[in-house]
Amino acid sequence: MQDGSHIRPLDPSRLGDEVAQMLRRAVLSGELEPGTHLVESMLSERFQVSRAPIREALRELESEGLVESRRRGVFVKALTQQDVWELYSLRLLLEGAAVELAVQRFGDDDLAALRGHLETMAEAASAGRTNEFAEADMRFHAEFFERAGHRRLLRVWQSFSETYRVILEITDSRSPDLESVVEDHRAILAAIERRDADEARRRDEESLRHGQSVFERRVAASVAAPAGGGGAR
């Protein structure tokens, strides 16, 4: 396995979650190409775990539409533009509701947290630290769900948040201008500080749609590129 791979030995205390997250990153980033046969024994050896967490992770990824079971085993699915549309349209609905609910509930400490995430984004953008940028970006958006005062909405978000986290890492790493992403988030924060829920939601939607366009281009490029061959090796 090459340096920088998403697949590596795991911390035994978090086997199930770690297997699922690493495989999710490998699939969404394109490291594991569409059609790759995910063989339990090979993955077990690579992750240095038993087959049980591998099976659990594959079931989770299948429920997310990232892999599919066939007669000969489990294979990586090719993401389509429909998949991208479904992921982003769902996030727009969830996050739009969260923003509207959270705006009036944010206290001084919450606003300070948003400013902190934004400052981290700005510093990471200047230094070209895309992983740190993406993590702060994700924390900025997660604040909406955590402060919305809606437990069921938060649970739905949490069930998809790791998928969105990986997508955000990909889109931020491929964005040609992270500074413009920072400015988008400054506009969201300014609207929140004014308690303007409609404007905050509109600005947030614009930011998400920009990310959608970046990810759509990645998916289109992966479809157009020639296949690189099979197995999870």
Reported as a single tens digit per residue, the pLDDT across 32-91 is 999 999 999 999 999 888 999 999 999 999 988 899 999 899 999 988 999 999 999 999
Reported as a single tens digit per residue, the pLDDT across 148-193 is 999 999 999 998 898 999 999 888 887 778 999 999 999 999 999 9
Rounded mean pLDDT, 202-231: 79
Domain that holds residue 71: 12-78
Beta bridge partners of 73: 70
Spatial distance between the Cα atoms of 132 and 109, rounded to a whole number of angstroms = 22
Could you tell me the CA-to-CA distances from 180 to 27, 121, 183, 184 in Å, in that order? 28, 11, 5, 6
Task: Give the chain's mean pLDDT.
Answer: 89
Q: Number of structural domains, the chain?
A: 2
In a domain, 132, yes or no: yes
Same domain, 42 and 108: no
Same domain, 72 and 99: no
Same domain, 134 and 165: yes
Residues 25-59: b if buried by 16+ CB within 10 A, e if exposed: bbbbbbbbbeebbbbbeebbebbebeeebbbebbe
In a domain, 2, yes or no: no
In a domain, 229, yes or no: no
Rounded mean pLDDT, 116-124: 97
Same domain, 33 and 120: no
Same domain, 198 and 115: yes
The helix/strand/coil state of 79 is coil
Domain boundary among 55, 78, 101: 78
What CATH number does the domain containing 131 carry? 1.20.120.530
Q: H or E segment at 18? A: helix 15-29
Instruction: Using a cut of 0.85, tell me whether the model's pTM lies above it.
Output: no
Handedness of CA 218, 220, 225, 228 (dihedral sign): positive
Non-local CB neighbours of 146 within 8 Å, separated by 6+ positions: 154
- Residue 15: what pLDDT? 77
Percent of the chain with pLDDT over 90: 64
Spatial distance between the Cα atoms of 177 and 64, rounded to a whole number of angstroms = 30
Spatial distance between the Cα atoms of 190 and 103, rounded to a whole number of angstroms = 11
Rounded mean pLDDT, 210-217: 91
Neighbours of 128 (CB within 10 A): 9
Same domain, 205 and 112: yes
Same domain, 133 and 188: yes
In a domain, 127, yes or no: yes
